[in-house]
Structure 1
Amino acid sequence: MQAQTLSPPPRSANWLDTLERILPKIVLAPSFVICVVFFYGFIIWTALLSLTPSRMLPRYEFVGIEQYASLFANDRWWLALKNLAIFGGLFIFLCLVMGLLLAILLDQRVRAEGFIRSIFLYPLALSFIVTGTAWKWILDPSIGLQKVLNDLGWTSFTFEWIKDPDMAIYTVVIAGIWQSSGFVMALFLAGLRSIDDSIIKAAKIDGASMPMIYRRIILPSLRPVFFSSFMILAHIAIKSFDLVMALTGGGPGFSTDLPATFMYTYAFTRNQIGLGAASATVMLGIVLAVIVPFMYSELRSTRRG
């Protein structure tokens, strides 16, 4: 018997196999290049500008950490960092607390749950510009909440935080919480609905009270949701710009400045690109300092689990 020889596949088949392998790379290549250039490339460019004496236009002369020394000698920058600590701390903490409490409430299968959930999620559909503008009107003593209550007879009621340099930053906190707590509520509600009911029923049979069940079972099960919510809220807080500009414009004076508004002011209105780039680089460092340890801790806990 003669051995049968297998004929090689036609060239068209080889060409189609090759095309099938490289087509995803061809499709993704433009997005990859754009991401590298306009994200990582500009991060590197900003860091380089922070080491130059650039003002209105870039000047590629190395001056070391001179811009960073000027930045940390600027009282306005320290006020922006203080405001970030106040705004970020209260914004993250209160959003987490309110989001969790609202999620627990809705998880009780209350009537009109869908309607209530939509009400709290509605602010998420708005931009921070719209939120800031709306709260600017609400908190304005001449046309907002104070005037309405005064017209209704509460003539002694005053609420002028938005014009008080010591209290204005808290109006930014109020608007930020109103915008984002519904989003956190949705995350926690999804986490609560994913917990196995049989575990809770077994705990009840064993005599555990609901506060103990929440403390020992439900809240520990929501750790990934806490982690995700914290990451998102911290990112929002650190890069907050449009909310402040729409609500207070950084004022009164510059009492509600945040690092993002400081960077914009010095880089684009005071023509100090080098100083603005230095502040932007420090902001990136703050983001990394907050997020990286939490990510490392979460990954280590996941591996141990």
Structure 2
Amino acid sequence: MPQTSRTAASGIDPDRSAVSFKTRLANWLPRLVLAPSFLAILIGVYVFIAWTIWISFSSSSMLPRYDFIGLDQYVRLWNTPRWHTAVINLFLFTFLFLAITIALGLLMAILLDQNVRAEGALRTIYLYPMALSFIVTGTAWKWVLNPDLGIEKVVQSWGWENFAFDWITRPDFAIYCVVIAAVWQSTGFAMAIFLAGLRGIDNSIIKAAQIEGASLPRIYMSIIVPLLRPAFLSVIVLLSYISIKSFDLVLALTNTGPGGSTEVPSTFMFAYTFQRNQMGVGAASAIMMLMTVAAIIIPYLYSELREDANGH
């Protein structure tokens, strides 16, 4: 009996079988490709988060222990004056960093949106600092702010001998030096997001408002800026995340000095975990940072998901 007859007699359609195999392969291929990355993230992120949570409830010191002592490590953490300094610095740094970066980024985006000449070159110049690591930024600004090498020395050499800009050596002003360096690096990033949002707004809205007699500043304040709400949310979330993990910038610029005045939660966690051999307290501080990030991310995700649901 011919092969086709035997296949037909058995009730198997070879073309349909081949199509079914290709369909199953097409459905499973993306999953197989993403499986290693998913596994790496599962182990490298979520498993270690769970491990850190367990360590924060244990009596771990130099080495991890797997007993359970309840909230003792969190009580020790919040009874540590250095942690209070870190939390205060984080809120002060985050507020100033967000406010100044958003204001400057929005202003730069509006100016570039006026079809200025050499826009491409200006955009590249503004974005260049974002290509640098925080280590490089911190080291560079450490030189710039050094009274013996940087701005103070240069201005005094011009004849203003009484000029002083020694914030980096003063415990009550050093945290503002961290703000200056962070704003310098991240303003171009905020500008790029705002500029993309501005370019997505229909020009007919502006033209209609101009026909009604509205001035350009009034148009931006009353119409354009409210339409940039998604851009504002993205900038706030991303900059807040940057501020919380500003470990390398602080370490390179001030090394938490002078006198621990620029301590932030990330440097506190590193110091207590790897230098002071108090792993339990360090893990507790890491979980507090994780909760802070979650408090920022979850409302943002909820807002985005709700908008998607309403849009559909």
Task: Give the TM interval when normalised to the shorter protein.
Answer: over 0.9
Instruction: State which of 29, 34, 37 in structure 2 corresponds to 1:28.
Output: 34
CA distance in 1, matches of 2:78, 2:161: 45
- Residue number in structure 2 paired with 1:231: 237
- Residue number in structure 2 paired with 1:94: 100
Give the SS at the match of 1:149: helix
CA distance in 2, matches of 1:217, 1:280: 41
- Residue number in structure 1 paired with 2:161: 155
Deviations 1:91-116 (A, max 9, x none): 01111000000011111111222221
Residue 22 of structure 1, CA deviation: 2.1
- Residue number in structure 2 paired with 1:212: 218
Residue 296 of structure 1, CA deviation: 2.9
Which amino acid in 1 is paired with 2:104? M
CA distance in 1, matches of 2:136, 2:33: 36
CA change 1:151–1:94 in 2 (3 A) is: same
Q: How many residue pairs end up in the alignment?
A: 302
Residue 30 of structure 2 is aligned to residue 40 of structure 1? no
CA distance in 2, matches of 1:93, 1:287: 18
Residue 16 of structure 1, CA deviation: 4.0
Equivalences for 1:7-86 in 2 at 5 Å?
A: 7-9=12-14, 14-86=20-92
- Residue number in structure 1 paired with 2:283: 277
Give the SS at the match of 1:249: coil
Deviations 1:1-23 (A, max 9, x none): xxx98751266655444333322
Which amino acid in 2 is paired with 1:155? E
CA distance in 2, matches of 1:291, 1:245: 26
CA distance in 1, matches of 2:103, 2:25: 52
Which moves more between the two structures, 257-266 or 17-26? 17-26
CA change 1:297–1:18 in 2 (3 A) is: closer
Give the TM-score, by structure 2 length: 0.92
Task: Report the RMSD for the aligned CA atoms in angstroms.
Answer: 1.8
Deviations 1:69-124 (A, max 9, x none): 00000000000000001100000111100000001111111122222111111101
CA distance in 1, matches of 2:301, 2:158: 51
Which moves more between the two structures, 106-115 or 252-261? 106-115
- Residue number in structure 2 paired with 1:172: 178
Give the SS at the match of 1:279: helix
Residue 200 of structure 2 is aligned to residue 194 of structure 1? yes
Give the SS at the match of 1:57: coil
CA distance in 1, matches of 2:262, 2:298: 27
CA distance in 1, matches of 2:200, 2:31: 36
CA distance in 1, matches of 2:54, 2:41: 19
CA distance in 1, matches of 2:155, 2:209: 49
Which amino acid in 2 is paired with 1:198? S
Deviations 1:124-152 (A, max 9, x none): 11000000000000000011111111112
Residue 259 of structure 2 is aligned to residue 253 of structure 1? yes
CA distance in 1, matches of 2:204, 2:21: 55
CA change 1:109–1:55 in 2 (3 A) is: same
Give the TM-score, by structure 1 length: 0.94
Q: 5+ unaligned residues in a row in structure 2: which ranges?
A: 1-7
Which amino acid in 1 is paired with 2:282? G
Which amino acid in 2 is paired with 1:55? S
CA distance in 1, matches of 2:205, 2:178: 41
CA distance in 2, matches of 1:15, 1:294: 41
CA distance in 1, matches of 2:51, 2:19: 46
Which moves more between the two structures, 108-117 or 169-178? 108-117
Which amino acid in 2 is paired with 1:271? N
Instruction: State which of 182, 203, 215 in structure 1 corresponds to 2:209.
Output: 203
Equivalences for 1:123-138 in 2 at 5 Å?
A: 123-138=129-144
Which amino acid in 1 is paired with 2:45? F
Residue 212 of structure 1, CA deviation: 2.2
Residue 300 of structure 1, CA deviation: 4.0
Give the SS at the match of 1:229: helix
Q: 5+ unaligned residues in a row in structure 1: which ranges?
A: none
CA distance in 1, matches of 2:295, 2:32: 36
Residue 263 of structure 1, CA deviation: 0.2
